[in-house]
Amino acid sequence: MDEYFIRTEHLCCNYRDENGREAPALIDINLKIKKGEYIAVIGRNGSGKSTLAKLLNMILLPASGKIYIDGKDMTSGNLSDDEILDIRRRVGMVFQNPDNQIVATIVEEDIAFGPENLGIPTPEIRRRVDYALETVGMRGYEKHEPHRLSGGQKQRIAIAGVLAMQPECIILDEATAMLDPRGRAEVINTIELLNRERKITVIMITHHMNEAVRADRVIVLSDGRLLRDYPPRQLFSEPDFLRRQGLGVPQSVELIDELRRQGIALEGEPVTPEECAGAIMKYLKQKKAHDG
């Protein structure tokens, strides 16, 4: 047994551009992800985030390098079809456009799609569908038509569809990008619940820095290279790096950074608005005590 659920060694992958030329999409990626971790992956469009996601559940194959899932070498080239299906079951994916990943015309049939493909017996599929709907908070929508649901609800259905396969890891490929703030909150809350209570490993590809703030670790990709693999606090303590990468910085982090530049020695590594407010208040109180 491997200590890491996902491990890559010198992983490289190429893609074919529209002129048919091979170009590197990922270069020498070394990753270690433990079971139950919450990982955010950030990077500009075209930095290789989606390629990485598709490699991890064998939708794409690497040009070179190794991928180990739960200790097993996925790149040995002699995996049986059943072994590949098992990897896709264990590493589920949720994509950006909710409309393009819902297969069936009725919610419960869509959630059953994965288990049906896996040949799970009917009573067990029923149990899993009910459980998955319960988990994403969509009980009562069994017979609804997906195209009438809101974006956030559709994405929760997509998550439930993955959940019904009983995965150990869920990869969300910009799954919140097309949602409004309410829908985004619905999806994030669901994912955090799965990570916290069901111990599911989460890999969250996102453009929203305030989503990345909540992860255990943030991975920064740029032009196919892995530039950072830091806890969020450490990453957001270099706002200049993030700006250089065209990644944007949460306003709270920006404020703290500006204050420090102007000589205010704030303590700690605050990243969320609550923490930043706390740090500023602490400084204010100390200053008052000092002054008064």
Interface with another protein, residue 223, by CB under 8 A: no
Write each residue from 154 to 183 as x if it is in contact with another protein (CB under 8 A), else as -, in one continuous string.
-------xx--x--------x--xx-xxxx
Q: What's the rounded Cα separation, in Å, for the pair 5 and 74?
A: 12
Residue from 16, 71, 139, 264 in contact with another protein (CB under 8 A): 264
Q: Whose Cβ is closer to another protein: residue 72's or residue 260's?
A: 260
Interface with another protein, residue 121, by CB under 8 A: yes
Interface with another protein, residue 138, by CB under 8 A: no
Q: Are 219 and 226 in contact (CB under 8 A)?
A: yes
Interface with another protein, residue 18, by CB under 8 A: yes
Residue with tokens 């959630």: 111
Q: What's the rounded Cα separation, in Å, for the pair 287 and 265?
A: 11
Measure the N-to-C terminal CA separation of the chain; round to a whole number of Å.
61
Number of residues that bind another protein (CB under 8 A): 79
Residue from 11, 136, 226, 247 in contact with another protein (CB under 8 A): 247
Torsion angle defined by CA atoms of residues 185, 189, 191 and 197, in that order, rounded to the nearest 10 degrees? 180
Interface with another protein, residue 75, by CB under 8 A: no
Q: Whose Cβ is closer to another protein: residue 9's or residue 266's?
A: 266
Other Cβ atoms closer than 10 A to 226: 22
Interface with another protein, residue 134, by CB under 8 A: no
Interface with another protein, residue 45, by CB under 8 A: yes
Interface with another protein, residue 188, by CB under 8 A: no
Phi-psi label, residue 140: left if phi above 0, alpha if psi -120 to 50, beta otherwise: left
Positions in 271-290 near another protein (CB under 8 A): 273-274, 276-277, 280-281, 283-284, 287
Interface with another protein, residue 54, by CB under 8 A: yes
Residue from 16, 122, 139, 267 in contact with another protein (CB under 8 A): 122
Q: How far is the CB of 11 from another protein (least distance, A)?
A: 19
DSSP letters along 120-158, please?
A: --HHHHHHHHHHHHHHTT-TT-TT--GGGS-HHHHHHHH
Q: What's the rounded Cα separation, in Å, for the pair 182 and 86?
A: 34
Interface with another protein, residue 255, by CB under 8 A: yes
Q: Are 162 and 92 in contact (CB under 8 A)?
A: yes
Residue from 72, 117, 139, 196 in contact with another protein (CB under 8 A): 117
For residue 31, CA distances in Å to 11, 64, 167, 233 come to 9, 15, 20, 19
Q: Whose Cβ is closer to another protein: residue 197's or residue 288's?
A: 288
